[in-house]
Amino acid sequence: MKVFINPGHAMHGNPDPGALNGELGYRESDVVSRIGEKVKLYLERAGCEVRLLQSHNLLGECPDYGPAIVDAAESFGADVFISLHCNAFDTRARGCETLCYDDEEAGGALAMAIHRQLIETMRDKDGSMPDRGIKERKDLAVLRATNMPAVLCEIAFIDNIQDAALLIVYEDDIARAIARGVTDYQVALAG
Ligand SMILES: [Zn+2]
């Protein structure tokens, strides 16, 4: 299976670091880049062919700001597309949510498989981690314009102190969970 992993925002945070935790000095672009590298490693160990490309263009392809991510996934011939992000709101909101274009389509099944693994892993580390569920989003280019099943993981809220700690301390567990979600999906497809 060919897997395209797209950590969100700009590589090295320039021009777009994504969401921030000012108190702890964490940037979304760095957190998702590290998790993406590890997801790649675990999926390659599981026999997948993986392409990893970070991009800035969440709401549309803007070549001025970096690679055209949907085109890159198409030309790679990806079977699945996974975008990695962290949420932010008011420093109090917490939880994990997984986005797809249409939860009745294959993207929904992929979202379900990844989300189940992510929630199980994070709840195991912190039982108070809220499950915000699977959400349909029609506005995000990475979900709308991709032809393969695509998901966007909002792994946790980087601006919340508890969620941010999970993101940093359990980065490796989170990456393994995402990779397991992909292989669960692959097994379900084959079955
Ligand atoms: Zn983001």
Per-residue pLDDT of the chain (191 residues; tens, 9 = 90+): 999 999 999 889 988 899 999 999 999 999 999 999 999 999 999 999 999 999 876 555 555 555 588 889 999 999 999 999 999 999 999 999 999 999 999 999 999 999 999 999 999 999 999 999 999 999 888 898 899 999 999 999 999 999 999 999 999 999 999 999 999 999 999 98
Write down the pLDDT at residue 139: 86
How far is C-alpha 116 from the chain's CA centre? 13
Phi, psi of 169 (to 5 degrees): -70, -35
Residues in the chain: 191
Q: How many whole angstroms from 46 Cα to the centroid of ligand 1?
A: 27
Q: How many whole angstroms from 179 Cα to the centroid of ligand 1?
A: 20
- pTM summary value: 0.95
In the CATH scheme, what is the code of domain 2-190?
A: 3.40.630.40
Q: How many whole angstroms from 172 Cα to the centroid of ligand 1?
A: 19
Write down the pLDDT at residue 63: 52
Instruction: Give the integer Cα–Cα distance in Å for 34 and 30.
Output: 6
Instruction: Give the integer Cα–Cα distance in Å for 170 and 109.
Output: 25
Q: How many whole angstroms from 38 Cα to the centroid of ligand 1?
A: 18
CA angle (155 as vertex; 24, 148 as ends), nearest 5: 140
Q: How many whole angstroms from 152 Cα to the centroid of ligand 1?
A: 9
Q: How many whole angstroms from 161 Cα to the centroid of ligand 1?
A: 17
Q: How many whole angstroms from 110 Cα to the centroid of ligand 1?
A: 20
Q: How many whole angstroms from 100 Cα to the centroid of ligand 1?
A: 15
Give me the residue spans of the domains in the chain: 2-190
Q: How many whole angstroms from 191 Cα to the centroid of ligand 1?
A: 34
Instruction: Give the integer Cα–Cα distance in Å for 191 and 175.
Output: 24
